[in-house]
Structure 1
């Protein structure tokens, strides 16, 4: 793997500080002199790093006033948004929006998959549900998450739409972290097992609307569980 340039290193470290909440939306980031001293690089290197983040709409430059951090919904870099979702401190909104995105894409993918999925893939889906059930009974969180992710990935692939799979690939790291977080709750695991079973049965029927409705119900349950068991605890 090629080494990052000094410009890339400085841009990444400043982004890390933004994501960590050191510079929240609307805050002014340090000037070139302070950053060049901190990173022991030239002002030109810092200037190029700032331009990189400005091009991604993470920063906005106001001549004569300073450089400001933009709100997350203005960022134009998928990688940066995913890093914020995975590592950010104020991630409740990002967690909800991630489920909303999954709902839009996965419900449609499940509907497509109903008309294309094969018998062997249906068997695999039931196998993943059984693996989730055994992991739940054995209190094996890692195995539960692995089977859960594999179940959804199979449906995305079975949709036959290459764009769906490509769109989801960058989300995998964030999804794995979220699944691990939510699946620590036994009640959430039980809900997930029931919904995955319903999805597998709907796909086995080869009825597109039934498959879509089953996935949509799962996404709604996932959202409800997130709000009830995870986000509610953080607000206490």
Structure 2
């Protein structure tokens, strides 16, 4: 462990123990360094690293503060990391496995907690998906909103942030493009309808089963297309799940 890493751990311990609660202001740099037995340079480097991690916020002319430490803030970098991993087929499949483990459980939990307003929001996105059968961009947008609303109904912000990060906007768009090309979009829409029906009936077991079927089918489709893309020669576009960039 480097000296900077040790300094980071010391400041994190102050936050973790409540000595520096969310929203509190850190002592000035010389005072913080003396309190922790660090050089000012080490204290400065630790503060910079924790600012990048969104644990601290440096306000010019005011000082350094502990952020809200909300999951949506601390997990902010997850989505960016997922985007970077999407050129690696193995990493993509790992992410789909994570989604398969978490999303059915989240759907089951949502079925026990969902409000009428939340159910209406999910129904709105389902209707929009039906109307946008051949419009990949609209399908993708409402698909993401559908699943976001389902997980939001759990009331668990950490779960929502994790699943949003794992799903990935770019991956969703590529999958929908492939599904439309394969004329498999209707089957996937039916799977969303089954999830909605389970939520409307407040049936946790059915919701979990419907979500598991949906994610498992998507994962199976992705595995098949990754194999096809791997077999395609570099000179051909082929199915292009990984090769084709998304439109701006």
Q: TM-score range by the shorter chain?
A: 0.5 to 0.7
Matched length: 158
Pick one of 64, 86, 104 that aligns with 2:101. 104
Match runs of 1:73-222 below 5 Å:
83=80, 85-88=82-85, 90-136=87-133, 139-169=134-164, 171=165, 175-185=168-178, 186=180, 187-222=183-218
Deviation at 1:160, TM superposition (A): 1.5
**Alignment CA distance shift 1:222-1:123 (3 Å):** same
| Contact 1:191–1:221 (CA under 8 A) maintained in structure 2 | no
What do residues 57-86 of structure 1 show as CA deviations (whole Å, max 9, x unaligned)? xxxxxxxxxxxxxxxxxxxxx888765642
What do residues 16-43 of structure 1 show as CA deviations (whole Å, max 9, x unaligned)? xxxxxxxxxxxxxxxxxxxxxxxxxxxx
Structure 1 residues not aligned, in runs of 5+: 1-47, 53-77
| Contact 2:107–2:207 (CA under 8 A) maintained in structure 1 | yes
**Alignment CA distance shift 1:153-1:88 (3 Å):** closer
- RMSD (CA atoms): 2.6
Q: What is aligned with 2:241?
A: none
**Alignment CA distance shift 1:83-1:160 (3 Å):** closer
Deviation at 1:189, TM superposition (A): 2.2
Scaled by the length of structure 2, the TM-score of the pair is: 0.57
What do residues 109-160 of structure 1 show as CA deviations (whole Å, max 9, x unaligned)? 1111111112222222222112112111xx2211110100000000111011
| Contact 1:132–1:193 (CA under 8 A) maintained in structure 2 | yes
Q: Distance in 2 between matches of 1:126 and 1:219?
A: 19
Structure 2 residues not aligned, in runs of 5+: 1-44, 50-74, 232-248
Pick one of 215, 227, 230 that aligns with 2:223. 227
Deviation at 1:168, TM superposition (A): 3.3
